Amino acid sequence: MTEALDIVITKAETSKLNVMDFDHLPFGRYFTDHMLEADYENGEWKNVEIKPYQPLLMEPSLSALHYGQAIFEGIKAYKDIFGNALIFRPYDNFKRFNISAARMSMPSIPEEIFIEGMRQLTELDKNWIPAKKDHSLYIRPLMFATDTELGVKASATYKFLIMLSPAGPYHDGPMKIVVEEKYTRAAPGGVGFAKNAGNYGASLLAATIAHKNGYDQVLWTDSSEHKWLQEVGMMNVFFIINNVAVTPSLNEGTILAGVTRDSAIILLEEMGYKVEERNINIDEVTGAYKKGTLQEVFGTGTAATIALIKELKYKDFIMQFDILSWIAAPELKRKLTDIKEGRAKDKYGWLFKI
Ligand SMILES: *Cc1c(COP(=O)(O)O)cnc(C)c1O
């Protein structure tokens, strides 16, 4: 393999691998032996290195902490049934990372750092990819502003990092969701389409209140009427109504363009469903429920892939679903897993070999 990019690699002296308990992997808690780091200074990326996973040293005035220029991605590497180490659609995350960067007035990252750096890091720590069903290695690229002065302006310096975290199966089960009517995640002209840190900070209070009331997450609605549906927590949302799959369109920039969402649209069409990307409001959903044409509701995202929604609450109206009778979501999940694990043909070129 040609090394277009000179990445300095310093290996860890000892591995933490033998003390890892792969049967207990809370999401994102443990990190592998190495990380990738690069710095942006004087208009260019430099000091690209892979080194032992370690704390960062920073000044209290670090710009990202004060003014929020921070973006991230979430990607999965895993082993297929033949033992090949693969990454799922990393180029889509690479493109989205640079879309987020542009919106946050941050520099773009070159492909050879994001993709080739990720490849080399994952290769080095590939023994951390659990070769177990539904297990994966979660890849977290991150970029943040590193200027150390308090003037409010786009930082001139940035740090890019990639860290890796082994992940077990997503056990949370079918979700109970409440339609959010007070708080807003994203408004037109805002940053909803970017995977920037502030979006998540802003969403936590609504989720905390939902938890207190016995719900797992909220279904976000538009900022003016609180009727038009956006996303469910950190996942895109799909409804099967009268055998048509409906998901909110990306037009207004209030929705994160999920890679899983895109994969779901393609596979649902393959399964014979008509897929509509359009505005959908809660009255259409409750109306379909009352008529008996609301068949399935589910979320899509890298962490859970397809997450079934067994209960949806809007004001005092509670919609409950018999998820055992569902057809689309389980088949979609199976099709996606079959492609990833090598049981079905990768006809869209989604799999990236490490
Ligand atoms: C990351 C994310 C998603 C899911 O995107 P995937 O690429 O499918 O993982 C959906 N909504 C929000 C708000 C997200 O941050």
Q: What is the pLDDT of residue 1?
A: 44
How much distance in Å is there from the Cα of 74 to the middle of ligand 1? Answer: 8
- Counting from 1 in the atom list of ligand 1, the atom nearest the Cα of 303 is 9
Dist. CA 193–CA 100, nearest whole Å = 7
Question: Are 8-169 and 175-336 the same fold in CATH?
Answer: no
Residue whose Cα lies nearest atom 10 of ligand 1: it is 235
d(CA 15, ligand 1 centre) in Å? 31
Query: 56: buried, middle or exposed (CB in 10 Å: 19+, 13-18, 0-12)?
Result: exposed
Could you tell me the fold of the domain covering 8-169? D-amino Acid Aminotransferase; Chain A, domain 1 (3.30.470)
Q: Check pocket membership of 89 for ligand 1, CB cut-off 6 A.
A: no
Separation of CA 259 and ligand 1 centre (Å) = 7
User: Could you tell me if the CB of 313 is within 6 A of ligand 1?
Assistant: no
Q: CB–CB of 305/336 below 8 Å?
A: yes
pLDDT of residue 66: 98
Task: Calculate the dihedral angle through the C-alpha atoms of 253, 259, 263, 268, rounding to the nearest 10 degrees.
Answer: -40
Q: Give, for ligand 1, the residue of 231, 235, 238 to mutate: max count of ligand atoms closer than 8 Å to Cβ.
A: 235
Nearest residue (CA) to ligand 1, atom 15:
234
192 CA closest ligand 1 atom index: 13
Q: 196 in ligand 1 pocket by Cβ < 6 Å?
A: no
> Is residue 47 within 8 Å of 158, Cβ to Cβ?
no
Please report the atom of ligand 1 found closest to the CA of residue 233. 13
The verdict on the CB of residue 235 being under 6 Å from ligand 1 is yes
Residue having the nearest C-alpha atom to atom 12 of ligand 1: 234
What's the pLDDT score for residue 2? Answer: 44
Cα–Cα distance for residue pair 350/263, rounded to 1 Å:
9
| Closest residue by CA, ligand 1 atom 13 | 234
CA distances from 28 to 40, 98, 164, 176 (A): 26, 23, 9, 23
Ligand 1 contact, 260 CB (< 6 A): yes
Instruction: State whether the beta carbon of 261 lies less than 6 angstroms from ligand 1.
Output: yes
Each of the 354 residues of the chain gets a pLDDT tens digit; together they read 444 578 999 999 999 999 999 999 999 999 999 999 999 999 999 999 999 999 999 999 999 999 999 999 999 999 998 989 999 999 999 999 999 999 999 999 999 999 999 999 999 999 999 988 889 999 999 999 999 999 999 999 999 999 999 998 876 789 999 999 999 999 999 999 999 999 999 999 999 999 999 999 999 999 999 999 999 999 999 999 999 999 999 999 999 999 999 999 999 999 999 999 999 999 999 999 999 999 999 999 998 899 999 999 999 999 999 999 999 999 999 999 999 999 999 999 999 999
Is residue 40 within 8 Å of 101, Cβ to Cβ? no
What fold is seen in the domain 175-336?
A: D-amino Acid Aminotransferase; Chain A, domain 2 (3.20.10)
Cα end-to-end distance, the chain, whole Å: 11
Q: What is the pLDDT of residue 4?
A: 58
For the chain, give every domain's residue range: 8-169, 175-336
Q: Give distance in angstroms: CA of 23 to centre of ligand 1.
A: 26
